[in-house]
Structure 1
Amino acid sequence: MDLTPYVDNLRQELAVAAEAGGDDARALAERLTAPLESAARLTLLNALSAAMGEVTRELAPGSVDVRLRGLDPEFVVTAPPAPEPFREVREPVELPAAPVPPADADDGAMARINFRLPAHLKARAEAAAAAEGLSVNAWLVRAVSVALDGGGRTSTPGRGKESGGRGFTGWVR
């Protein structure tokens, strides 16, 4: 970015203001413009740096840096990294077939919950239930029962209550 037009504009404005003060003021303005050029450039650089600091806060994790190349600033824009699409790395886990508890085996107390699933999971649950000749509700009851009773449970070493509260730290890509 070339600061020369801005510094020249400031010099012209100073000359116009000095014209109103007469010959002495005009002569003083002419003597002051050369030393004020570097101060004006430095002030403009400070203003640009502060502005880019605000832009960087809004762009986080991206950034905008102001670099001085010769007498003029240069802006270096670092865009935030594009989010990678989510990919499921795990292989699907098949739940073991557990017998559906007979209707007279429960204590009769039922609880109702609202359960919201993404559409693709709902379709998979419906297909799995149909393949086993069950209603979606019966299939979900069995899946929850198997998960809670430990059948087919997969655990990750060093995670959860079994690990005594230990956890993993580090970077993941």
Structure 2
Amino acid sequence: MNLTSYVDSLRREFLAAAEVVGTEVLGPAERLVAPLEASVRLTLLSVLSAAADEISRELVPGAVDIRLRGGEPGFVVLAPPAEPEVGALVDTGAEPPAGDGKGATARINFRPPGALKTRIEEAAGREGLSVNAWLVRAATTTLDGGSHRTARRAPSERQNHTGWVR
């Protein structure tokens, strides 16, 4: 994804707004545009990273990562494992249920003790997941011998960036 067109568009809008105020403001505005470009790029990368995290929470156990290559961001979709998820329908050769069966889930009544329920809710909150998504991930990870990534950044955590942007 090329951020240059977005940064250029913002530069044009900023200078057009400065020109409306008056020609005496246009000169200082033009001098401000160049130093602000790096901050704008960094802010756009932060927005894209937050979007990838939010999408990943919905794709459990799959994920979306954002990677920089040549200074430009790109999205990488990490598909869930080929094995069926916990609660997914498995082809047993029997007659399929009504409908197409895609995306079908199963319901389990789970009644943990109050203290365990609280711990589950806290763990899900730390990872930025719903309790259901956290339980599906925990069960899948346990059944697959820990082969799935479980660390997710909570939306409230700060993201630190270092380096330079051209």
TM-score normalized by the length of structure 2? 0.51
* Structure 1 letter corresponding to 2:145: W
In structure 1, what is the equivalent of residue 55 of structure 2?
Answer: 55
In structure 2, what is the equivalent of residue 171 of structure 1?
Answer: 145
Listed one character per residue, the Cα deviations across residues 31-67 of structure 1 (whole Å, up to 9, x for unaligned) are: 0111111100000000000011010000011011111
* Structure 2 letter corresponding to 1:34: A
Looking at structure 1, the residues matched to 44 and 56 of structure 2 have their Cα atoms a distance apart, in angstroms, of: 18
Would you say 1:23 and 2:61 are equivalent positions? no
Looking at structure 1, the residues matched to 5 and 144 of structure 2 have their Cα atoms a distance apart, in angstroms, of: 50
Aligned length: 94
Greater C-alpha radius of gyration: 1
SS of the residue corresponding to residue 21 of structure 2 reads coil
Shift of the alpha carbon at 1:83? 2.8
Would you say 1:45 and 2:54 are equivalent positions? no
Shift of the alpha carbon at 1:29? 1.1
TM-score normalized by the length of structure 1? 0.49
User: How big is the alpha-carbon RMSD for the aligned residues of Structure 1 and Structure 2?
Assistant: 2.6
Give the alignment of 1:87-126 within 5 angstroms: none
Give the alignment of 1:151-170 within 5 angstroms: none
Q: Name structure 2 gaps, 5 residues minimum.
A: 85-89, 96-142, 148-166
Looking at structure 1, the residues matched to 146 and 37 of structure 2 have their Cα atoms a distance apart, in angstroms, of: 51
Q: Name structure 1 gaps, 5 residues minimum.
A: 88-117, 120-168
Task: Specify which structure has the bigger relative contact order, considering alpha-carbon pairs within 8 angstroms and separated by 6 or more residues.
Answer: 2
Question: Percent identity at matched positions?
Answer: 53
In structure 2, what is the equivalent of residue 82 of structure 1?
Answer: 82
Structure 1 segments, 4+ long, off by >6 Å, are: none
In structure 1, what is the equivalent of residue 87 of structure 2?
Answer: none
In structure 2, what is the equivalent of residue 142 of structure 1?
Answer: none
